[in-house]
Chains A and B, each alone.
Chain A
Amino acid sequence: MSGVWLAIDTATDIASVAAGRAPAPEAGAHVQGARRHAAEIIRLVDFTLGRLGLAPRDLEGIVVGDGPGSFTGLRIGWAAAKGLAQEAGLDLVAIPSLMAAAAGAAVKLGQAPVAAWFDALRGQVYAAVYVFHADRVETVLAPAVMTPDEFADLATLRPQVVAGDGAARYADAARRWSGAPPVAPDALAPAATMLLSLLGREGTARAIDDLTTAEPVYGRPAEAQARWEARHGRSLPDPTRPSR
């Protein structure tokens, strides 16, 4: 084994891939534009592994952005990760995409609370707050979906900064909450690079023990499911599972 991990993140408008011996990325690439993710994701993997002269079977494992974020985007990254891991017999772990974005902003801040907001549409953001230590990551507020103001009211720790496309969209709310200008996605290191940097730190990764059923953290149910459950007052029976 090479000890090299492949990282994939497609939770936002930027699809990124990186590879290296954690925590240091040795190669990587990204594309911007959600509609390009499906066409480009394997090309990104091929380009990245090609730079290192590796094939998928040479990898130690795959770390994939766990969301929440764009439903379709997440599925593209996860479909790629599951296919590669299944065929090549690789370990698969998932790290929250919000943690990767916050880690990108935390690089220059040290052990201060950092928030990440991804635009969840409908006036809401997917959001979380983390504190990054050298050997572990403390999740102050776990990923949730709510309005920027609701989130600011809920958080007990005021973050040093808010990063992500949700912070850019709701810049005034982000600035009010943190007291600092928001950090837009293009000012952050690619998420896949940050996934690699987080790998191995305590409190970051979710091990995927069963590839055959694993899913990303979507952050909210499908709209039709939410409406049905509200109308019927009970859960849709195992909505993501085929029944036979």
Chain B
Amino acid sequence: MDHEALRATALSILTTIAPEIEPAELDATRPLRHQVDLDSMDWLNYLVALNERLHIEIPEADYARLRTLDDLVGYLARRLGATPGAGTEG
């Protein structure tokens, strides 16, 4: 799965947690939880849903590295061993 497919997957799961968001309006370089108003329970549910789809368990110790959507997509790509797509690696 390349970066763009990962980003689409991450966004589509995000809309199940926060149905009111407009994915196209998200700024991928700004803090995600703040933009989407994800509380601790939402965030955990999001990671559980990502794990169900991608089979990647994100440890709590890594939460601090996942501030933005770009961070998250880059992290998932590294964990999956995917080749970076153009212009998305921070």
Do the two shown chains form a genuine complex with each other? no
- Residues of B in contact with A (beta carbons under 8 Å apart): none
